[in-house]
Amino acid sequence: MKKPVTSPDRRRFLHIAGRYGFGTAVLAATGGYLWDNHAVAQTGADEAARQKAAKLTMLFATEYKIEDYVRYPVMQARFKENVETASKGQIYVKLHPAGQLGIGAALAQKVQAGTVQGGAVSLSNFSPFAPAVDLINIPYWCGENQKFANLVTSRAWDKEITPKVIARGYKPMFYFTVDPRTVSVRKGFGKVIRTPADMQGMKMRVPPSQLLQQFYRLAGANPTVVPWGETATAIKQGVADGLDPAVSALATFGFSDILETVSTVRSVPDAQMFAANANWYNQLPVELKVAFDQASEKTQIETFAQIEKARGVSMQQMAKGGAKFYNPTPAEFKQWVDQCGESRPEWNEFKIKLAGSLANFDVLKAAANTKGPITVSDYIG
């Protein structure tokens, strides 16, 4: 991809999107001809012809702007290109970025209902509708990027978790992470989170994941579910003292100048799923299913490759806004693992409920620790 869309280009992008559609604007932005009226008009005509020639149009929605991939590796433009190429134009992907069709759990529900044929949502926001994916939010067993990549590309995951997700109405295209979750505190909080002891009584904003709530209770905090769209306001007003997204998410969604410290506790993956509506996918002809799966696999590889670049850009942005980063020492990290980690008995009921048994969980844990087909960059502070 070319350089990201920025300031005056952003206004131009929106103008083109309004006149020719987001697909045309995406291609113009990533192709480097955003200000070339002739090229834009030609692309718009080509996109219209491509959609008309396709057998199927897939509405694909995210809460992320197209250019966010620079800081947050949601490669929606690449997904569109990969699907249309692999299907030889038989599937046209119409992107709806930037929350046009909803965000978070609301978007996950629309994909499940088939209102939208596909979307990208965090696993924590998918968890109310497909609880099995919440397994990754048990702390300290697959938090590192490489372990998560190993896990979600393993036969064990495909055998134990994928059928449960499909049964809830989703066809997983692929999973990815944007780095582990952090513990990040608002300006004025006055304390660096080094160990769980520093979280005692802290008001911690969490997504609608029972496991993340349990994690922060074990750490001594008071977890509070706040809708993602209201989180920045809650942090600014002191309704919540902290939140836990990865650095890339914090930079992308406007937290750069309102956070004091970002502690990289490496607890659980800040993970996402590209998912299609299962009924829509099941009705595809066999050859289009194969093409769709190939395109998804290609996009997954490209997404994991973007993590390190996105992290670097995001950390620079956060630092410019005044946030400081803290990486726990080995002794401090051990305190997190001992007090909150997956070996504690409090997690057994979740392992049984979501993985089927403690033995099944151990198989998945082994898969997370077995190198898979994708190599991923892990953050080292």
Q: Which residues have a Cβ under 8 Å from the Cβ of 42 and sit 6 or more positions away?
A: none
Say which CATH architecture domain 183-268+314-368 belongs to: 3-Layer(aba) Sandwich (3.40)
> Is the separation of the CB atoms in 273 and 121 below 8 Å?
yes
pLDDT tens digit string along 224-247?
999 988 999 999 999 999 999 999
Q: Which of 61-70, 140-149, 324-333 has the lowest mean pLDDT?
A: 61-70
> Is the separation of the CB atoms in 260 and 323 below 8 Å?
yes
Number of residues written out for the chain: 381
Q: How many C-beta neighbours within 10 Å does residue 344 have?
A: 16
- Mean pLDDT value across residues 188-207: 97
Candidates 44, 46, 8; CA nearest to 25 is: 44
DSSP H helical ranges for the chain = 7-20, 22-31, 37-53, 76-86, 104-113, 123-126, 145-152, 155-160, 162-167, 210-219, 231-236, 247-252, 278-282, 286-320, 330-340, 348-355, 358-368
Q: Which CATH number fits domain 7-130+168-177+272-306: 3.20.20.450, 3.60.15.10, 3.40.190.170, 2.60.40.2130?
A: 3.40.190.170
pLDDT level of residue 17 (50, 70, 90 thresholds): confident
Q: Which residues have a Cβ under 8 Å from the Cβ of 197 and sit 6 or more positions away?
A: 220, 335
pLDDT tens digit string along 353-380?
999 999 999 999 999 999 999 999 998 7
pLDDT level of residue 7 (50, 70, 90 thresholds): low
pLDDT tens digit string along 149-191?
999 999 999 999 999 999 999 999 999 999 999 999 999 999 9
> Is the separation of the CB atoms in 277 and 114 below 8 Å?
yes
pLDDT tens digit string along 129-144?
999 999 999 999 999 9
Average model confidence (pLDDT) across the chain: 94
Its pTM stands at 0.92
pLDDT level of residue 328 (50, 70, 90 thresholds): very high
Domain ranges across the chain: 7-130+168-177+272-306, 183-268+314-368
